[in-house]
Amino acid sequence: MKDMSKVARSICKCGHKGDGPHSDHSNTYPIQQDGYGRCMVIGCNCSQFVWERFTDEMSEYYRVGSSKSGWNRER
Ligand SMILES: [Zn+2]
Ligand SMILES: [Zn+2]
């Protein structure tokens, strides 16, 4: 099982990873929000993370997680 705490969760409008400890976006200050600051990819002028979609890894993780929990398997 992959350690999901080590991957960025989402993709920004600019197409780079954000929202997580290993994102391409800086962390904001003074309110600590990992990966919500400006984009650190060279040549990208994105100044703040704007949520676009989950990363493929994260959507896979949610998909697997929800099928395992089986909340509509039994009534
Ligand atoms: Zn960017
Ligand atoms: Zn961005």
Question: In whole angstroms, what is the distance from residue 29 CA to residue 34 CA?
Answer: 10
Walk along the chain (75 residues) and give the pLDDT tens digit of each residue: 667 777 789 999 999 999 988 899 999 888 888 899 999 999 999 999 999 999 998 888 888 877 655 555 544
Question: In whole angstroms, what is the distance from residue 34 CA to residue 27 CA?
Answer: 5
Distance 47 CA to ligand 1 centre (A): 8
Say if 49 falls within a structural domain. yes
Say if 74 falls within a structural domain. no
Say if 70 falls within a structural domain. no
Instruction: Region of 20 please: left (phi>0), alpha (psi -120 to 50) or beta.
Output: left
Q: Which domain holds residue 48?
A: 7-65
Question: In whole angstroms, what is the distance from residue 74 CA to residue 40 CA?
Answer: 46
Distance 45 CA to ligand 2 centre (A): 8
* Number of domains, the chain: 1
pTM of the model: 0.75
